[in-house]
Amino acid sequence: MAGGNITFTASVTGLAPTGGVNFTNGGTSITGCSAVALTGSGNTRTAACTTNTLAAGTRSIVAAYGGNATNAASASATLSQVVKSASTTTVASSANPSIAGANVTFTASVTGLAPTGSVNFTDGGTSITGCSAIALTGSGNTRTAACSTASLGIGTHNIAASYGGDAANVGSASATLSQGVNSSGPTATTTTLVSSANPSVAGANVTFTASVTGLAPTGSVNFTNGGTLITGCSAVALTGSGNTRTAACTTNTLAAGTRSIVAAYGGNATNAASASATLSQVVKSASTTTVASSANPSIAGANVTFTASVTGLAPTGSVNFTDGGTSITGCSAIALTGSGNTRTAACSTASLGIGTHNIAASYGGDAANVGSASATLSQGSIPAGRRRRRPRW
């Protein structure tokens, strides 16, 4: 086995031979074995090379005696040494405990050097019917074999998976899996999921709360986004009392878009696992709105243009321009124009009376952006100046 010690012994027959033997692997001296002295007496003497340096595969080993004053050199025939890779085997259950009479699947994972061959699944040392030689499937250095059975009786079963090895891999056996089999199913549970804010804002906290109803359920809940665990929200313990208990996940990691959130309760000895329906969580980008004036102060009765600039995620929609909180006539829903992540809307009006006006621009948001409002712009409006009379000459 690769990494394990193996000893090669060369026997040299001649006239009381002395000297040394060089052991080679594919023509290259094996480390520490290039000049191993002969030992023993008589006309046949030996030299031994112990090594753990051989890589997995078939190795060509030769022992070459260098000769001495009375004996010619000689070399052995090539020894094809098969070196196998160590393997590891693990076994997992699809449901533990399972229900008597219902199918349960045991999956063995074998890791080695592209392992092939088969796995024997046993219960208390006896092969499970139909599962004594399940072929490995898959690719790469970890491959699997699955055994499905409905034959397990009520009680605890010691399940093991034994890999028989192949030309490149040594066999291995899993640790024993203690499989419980109940007379009837655990209590069915239901899991529901709600959001603290939907839509929410990218980068801001949103809390998802799972409610699990069963028989005084305990255990934990995994929260996933598109099938991937949300950071910090795996194995969140249920809290509370009674037959409905809750687990909460707070996160600010969700990117803008519509996210598919699921809460999955793992079950316990008396409660079955369950998962919530998918919650479509809309996550919007934050936006900012600013407003500027074309002339400040402006002339009462003359046009002045207010331009709102909205920055977000390619924002669309419209802007409401207000004067003292009241929409400016004709400017309550000005569509954004432009492209990119900053777009503009413009309101032109000649309706401002003399005095100071508190102008604000309010963006209503869209499917991808949260609405936002500008700071108040203090806009002065002054009377038109009198014309100077031309002097008489």
Distances (CA, A) of 50 to 12, 30, 33: 17, 9, 8
* DSSP 8-class letter at 358: E
Q: Is 177 within 8 Å of 160 (Cβ atoms)?
A: yes
- Residue at 142 is within a domain: yes
Number of domains in the chain: 4
Distances (CA, A) of 356 to 20, 237, 300, 379: 108, 58, 11, 6
Give the lowest-confidence range in 85-99, 116-130, 229-243, 337-351: 85-99
What would the two tokens of residue 92 be? 């997992």
Q: pLDDT category, 181, cuts 50, 70, 90?
A: confident
Phi-psi region of 79 (alpha: psi -120 to 50; beta: other; left: phi over 0): beta
| Domain, as residue range, for 167 | 88-182
Task: Check whether 96 has a pLDDT greater than 90.
Answer: no
Arithmetic mean of pLDDT, 372-377: 98
Cα separation, 210 vs 357, in Å, equals: 50
User: Among the three residues 131, 153, 182, which one is the final residue of a domain in this structure?
Assistant: 182
Q: Is 330 within 8 Å of 349 (Cβ atoms)?
A: yes
- Residue at 387 is within a domain: no
- Residue at 392 is within a domain: no
Residues 292 and 374 in one domain: yes
For all residues of the chain together, what is the average pLDDT?
Answer: 94
Task: Check whether 304 has a pLDDT greater than 50.
Answer: yes
Confidence at residue 390, expressed as pLDDT on a 0 to 100 scale: 47
pTM, rounded to two decimals? 0.49
Confidence at residue 387, expressed as pLDDT on a 0 to 100 scale: 36
What CATH number corresponds to the domain at position 242? 2.60.40.10
- Residue at 389 is within a domain: no
**For 260-270, what is each residue's pLDDT tens digit?**
999 999 998 77
b/e burial code for range 153-163 (CB count within 10 A of at least 16 → b): eeeebebbbbb
What would the two tokens of residue 171 be? 């066999």
What would the two tokens of residue 225 be? 């986004």
- Residue at 1 is within a domain: no
Task: Check whether 388 has a pLDDT greater than 50.
Answer: no
Task: Check whether 391 has a pLDDT greater than 70.
Answer: no
